[in-house]
């Protein structure tokens, strides 16, 4: 592949054969691509088939993971991709591929799957890439990629801190949580562990019980532990 075979967009290599093939699919929301995805393939297998040059002929996935995503997307696929030695752009470099995914069984026109592929230099909003993948990436001086990696590390650190909580510890979220009437806002909670289940109990400044709270995704939120 010569230098004329690729186009640089935000620091990423786009192989024309794959991008032209993809754009023949139905265009989805937010610039995504819609198509019919057959069952039985892992996310890795699907994207290696979808991008045979980027993830086959000129590069390969060395580690990957799929995590839940927010907003209009169901999941995010993260992969550390190493360019082969014969790649025209930065041979031997390992970079992060991020693909946002959404299943839509009710969609018309035969499209049941939408995806939007990005790389770390494009500033993906989803930033839940595991540390084991981040650890494999080549050093970068790209500001956007650096910020994205930092957000992922911070997210993983919050999850790790939440996993280490023990029964009875008190945490304070950075931002108060609104619960509506008659509860109002709450910021301090006592962590309760019962077997595999855990709950958060909103408490007063004096530590008195107020109510049990359900806060989806709280482990990824910013909080401090008040007692150890």
Domain boundaries, the chain: 3-161, 170-225
pLDDT bin (cut points 50, 70, 90) of residue 21 is: very low
Of 104, 101, 51, 58, nearest in space to 78 by CA: 101
pLDDT bin (cut points 50, 70, 90) of residue 108 is: low
Cis before 126? omega within 30: no
pLDDT bin (cut points 50, 70, 90) of residue 88 is: confident
Average pLDDT over residues 16-39: 60
Residue pair 214/196 in contact by the 8 Å Cβ criterion: no
For the chain, percent of residues with pLDDT exceeding 70: 85
* Rounded (5°) CA angle 165-169-171: 90
pLDDT at 13 over 80: no
Confirm whether pTM is higher than 0.85.
Answer: no
* pLDDT score for 107: 64
* pLDDT score for 29: 54
Q: How far apart are CA 90 and CA 201, in angstroms?
A: 52
pLDDT at 200 over 70: yes
- Mean pLDDT, the chain, whole residue set: 85
pLDDT bin (cut points 50, 70, 90) of residue 64 is: very high
CA distances from 12 to 127, 152, 173 (A): 18, 20, 38
* pLDDT score for 105: 76
pLDDT bin (cut points 50, 70, 90) of residue 65 is: very high
pLDDT bin (cut points 50, 70, 90) of residue 195 is: confident
* HSE-up of residue 184 (Cα within 13 Å, Cβ side): 5
Min mean pLDDT across 97-111, 134-148, 211-225 is at: 97-111
Q: How far apart are CA 123 and CA 144, in angstroms?
A: 5
């Amino acid at each position: 592949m010569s230098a004329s075979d690729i186009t640089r967009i935000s620091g990423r290599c786009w192989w024309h054969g794959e991008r032209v093939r993809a754009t023949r699919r139905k265009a989805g929301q937010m610039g995504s691509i819609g198509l019919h995805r057959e069952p039985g393939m892992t996310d890795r297998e699907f994207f290696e088939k979808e991008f045979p040059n980027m993830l086959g002929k000129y590069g390969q996935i060395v580690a990957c993971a799929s995590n839940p995503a927010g907003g209009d997307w169901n999941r995010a696929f993260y992969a550390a991709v190493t360019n082969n030695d014969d790649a025209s752009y930065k041979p031997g470099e390992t970079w992060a591929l991020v693909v946002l995914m959404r299943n839509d069984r009710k969609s018309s026109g035969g499209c049941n799957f939408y995806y939007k592929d990005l790389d770390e230099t494009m500033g993906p909003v989803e930033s839940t890439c595991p540390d084991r993948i981040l650890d494999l990436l080549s050093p970068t001086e790209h500001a956007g990629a650096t910020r994205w990696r930092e957000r992922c590390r911070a997210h993983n650190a919050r999850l790790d801190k939440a996993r280490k909580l023990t029964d009875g510890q008190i945490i304070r979220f950075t931002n108060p949580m609104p619960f509506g009437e008659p509860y109002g806002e709450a910021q301090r909670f006592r962590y309760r562990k019962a077997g595999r289940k855990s709950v958060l109990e909103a408490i007063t400044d004096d530590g008195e019980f107020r109510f049990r709270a359900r806060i989806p995704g709280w482990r990824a939120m910013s909080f401090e532990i008040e007692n150890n």
